[in-house]
Amino acid sequence: MAITRRGLVTGAALGGGLIAAWYFLPRSFPNPLEPGPGEEVFGAWIRIAEDSVVTIAVPQLEMGQGVTTLLPQLVAQELGADWRQIAVEPAPIAAAYPNVPLAKRWAVMWDPLAAGLSEATDDMLARNYARNTPFTATADGTSLEAYEAMCREAGAAVRAMLAQEAASRWDTSWEECEVANGIVSWGDRRATFGELAAGAATRSPPIPPPLRTQAPSESPLPASVPDDVGTAPAFPRIDLPSKVDGSYLFAGDVRLPGMVYAAIRHGPNNGSELTGFDESRAAGVRGVVGAVRTRRWLAVAANTWWSAQRALEAMQPQFTTSFPVDSDDIAARLDTYLEAGASAKIAETGFGEDAVERIDMARRYEIEPAHAAPLETASATARYEDGRLELWIASQAPEQAREAAARAVGLSSTDVALYPMPAGGSFDARLEHDHAIEVAHIAKTLGRPVQLVWHRREEMIRSRPRPPHYTLVGAQLAQGGVPGSSGAIDALKLRIATPSSSHEFGERVFENTTAWAAIRESAGRPDPLACEGAVPPYELPSVTVRHIPVEIGLPVGRVRGNAHSATAFAIESFIDEVAARAGREPMGYRMAMLGQDVRLAACLQRAASIAGWDGGAGQSGQGIACHRIGDVATGARIACVATARRDAESGNGGVRVTRLTAAVDIGRIVNLDIARQQVEGGLLFGLALALGNAIRYRGGLPASFDYADLGLPGLADCPEIAIDFMASEAAPADPGEIGVAVAPPAIANALFSATGLRLRRLPLLSGGL
């Protein structure tokens, strides 16, 4: 076993001593922000210029979800700034921005031996790890949970400092001053932020910062008000104007003096090796600068990316692979393990497994691998000079990308500067950092700045799909489920055969192992995160979830919705099947099982009311599903009614979804417009998972590299979408994943209503109608 920093620290903890040096010693960190001309810096979040422009640092990756609006909004509201004076910039990698909630959720990845000791210990370890690493990853919808308090406190502190400076000039108490719309006032005295900034920066804010009594929130429109009727959002997205006019810069837009462009070719999966290529065949391509080869890939650099790609294709690189995985092999392995593989109990509620006396009804659900498939392929720009590396890259885990690039070229991470760039979509694909390693290596080898852009083929080969899930759901029913019985579920048992995907992902991201080493290290390890959402929101006497770890020979990773998109499909499809067998109306059947979760029950009732729910009877084509991500106290809820029909003229195999109606409870809503965008996008992502095309593998490669062959919905395929948000004072929950999970089962249940066919595989049409 290789010795790693993580292993050394954890191992020492067992004997006592060294972990204290790593986790518990108090540390102070420098302020990561530097003032520009005429600017004053206020902590790690805010700069104020002489013209009163307030620049707010954002430590999360903007990838279309609106985080560069959401977090600055929190600062601006506490600060009392006018939204028109707000500017944003990506925050540098720094200990000042720890994502503690995500570090805690992922603790089993970065310290599996210490994770789960106790709630207090987990909190402390996550807090110290996130600060000391520093860990600022953007994932799992934790941006608000991690940074709302920091943003509000930063804004409140600066508001107090500005008021203190104004009060000292006006000979009054700072508490008497009002700060609103970018102006500090007292009676008829007024001063702008820019006029006060220099003096305010020398003052000390009160501790704790004086937060406003009302947390930032927006009320949802009443259901009777159509979505297209209303005022413009109070906080319109900051990134939209530049995205519309084309001035918004991504990693592929960076231009450096003397820069060349690189194309790359990978072999099948990560077990392949480059065996040869013919460099002479590229002699006729103008502008070629050079080729860089490693054991796993070949890259060509030229004056244009198109020339580099043409030269690469002309060289005809050849690869061999030790593990030429095929889709049929994957299916056979999952099938075998589901039926007879050793399992580990990862969740148990109520009376647990001891309450299961028999299985009266069982169904099997199969979920195929699915790619994130963002429109923007992986791209990065690098410059290596005088023993230092600079990286311009979009990364959801920037410190891990920086460390991986540093190791690739033999540098300390302190000699690598990573400039965070936004992503043109991600869906968790940019949690991986292969392209950071590759561009660093190419830049060092060539000795000049280089921009690497993956072809769609390489994105399909090297991106890690959501793992396949084969799930067997069994229920013990009241009175044995005989005709005429209530259909009540006395016990529910799930067996889930799927790779240990989060352990595998953790090995790659936190230990910087190759994909095949990650598979080897994670093989056979039970993985609760790979089965998230398998415990349903229903109050059942007994629920047991068992995970069967399966090594399928294909590297897998994270995709929007993650395990919830698989577990929600299996559970909500099964619930519908039990209701049909008992002759129960599907919504009422669900309502009877929700117990104390009145918030999810309210979502079900609201969605049914708006959609004109008819019970799905008489081939109406209506199907219903609900899901919760998180616990009863803080989780996000959604209920969705889908309307679908057979349509031989549609472009997705004979099915058209005409309407998706959802009622959503995400607690207190900070920005209604962004929340609506996220739920709408999630529903459409779930629609693609349901009605898109399955990815087939042959010889370790996808059978098609064509983006169009994924079967993603176009504008003509998008249904009417109606979303109603529930008013709530609960803690904010993430809206980005919940729609992904609920759409596929709602659509499957709608198709059963419309056709009488029960489809138990995702994508739904992978086996045809």
Q: Is the pLDDT of residue 316 over 50?
A: yes
Lowest-confidence segment of 18-27, 470-479, 571-580 by average pLDDT: 18-27
Query: What's the rounded Cα separation, in Å, for the pair 450 and 581?
Result: 62
In sequence order, the β-bridge partners of residue 218 are none
Round the average pLDDT of the chain to a whole number and report it. Answer: 92
Tokens found for residue 540: 């059942």
pLDDT band at 650 (very low <50, low <70, confident <90, very high): low
Angle at 648 between CA 645 and CA 652, to 5 degrees: 80
Residue 151: phi and psi, rounded to 5, are: -65, -45
Tokens found for residue 62: 């903007």
Residues written for the chain = 769
Beta-carbon contacts of residue 33 (< 8 Å; ≥ 6 apart)? 41, 43, 44, 45, 47, 57, 92
Q: Is the pLDDT of residue 79 over 60?
A: yes
Hey, how many other C-beta atoms are within 10 angstroms of the C-beta on 336? Answer: 13
Q: Is the pLDDT of residue 769 over 80?
A: no
Please report how many Cα atoms fall inside a 13 Å half-sphere around the Cα of residue 503, on the Cβ side: 20
pLDDT of residue 639: 98
pLDDT band at 167 (very low <50, low <70, confident <90, very high): very high
CA-closest candidate to residue 365, choices 695, 696, 758: 758
Lowest-confidence segment of 25-39, 420-434, 598-612, 667-681 by average pLDDT: 25-39
pLDDT tens digits for range 289-303: 999 999 999 999 999
Query: What's the rounded Cα separation, in Å, for the pair 362 and 325?
Result: 30
CA-closest candidate to residue 96, choices 144, 131, 47: 131
pLDDT tens digits for range 369-409: 999 999 999 999 999 999 999 999 999 999 999 999 999 99
In sequence order, the β-bridge partners of residue 363 are 473
Tokens found for residue 223: 């259901």
pLDDT of residue 158: 98
Which domains are present in the chain? 32-97+136-200 (3.30.365.10), 251-322+374-462 (3.30.365.10), 329-370+469-584 (3.30.365), 593-769 (3.30.365.10)
Per 3-state DSSP, what percentage of the chain is helix, strand, and coil (rounded to 5)?
Answer: 40, 20, 40
Q: 41 vs 49, 158, 194, CA distance in Å?
A: 9, 10, 12
The number of angstroms, rounded, from the C-alpha of 193 to the middle of its chain's C-alpha atoms is 36
pLDDT of residue 15: 34
Tokens found for residue 243: 């995205």
Q: Which residue has the higher pLDDT, 28 or 187?
A: 187
Mean pLDDT on 107-135:
91
Q: Is the pLDDT of residue 228 over 70?
A: no
pLDDT tens digits for range 423-471: 999 999 999 999 999 999 999 999 999 999 999 999 999 989 999 999 9
Q: 262 vs 208, 374, 395, 540, 702, CA distance in Å?
A: 51, 20, 19, 56, 23
Lowest-confidence segment of 218-222, 503-507, 622-626 by average pLDDT: 218-222
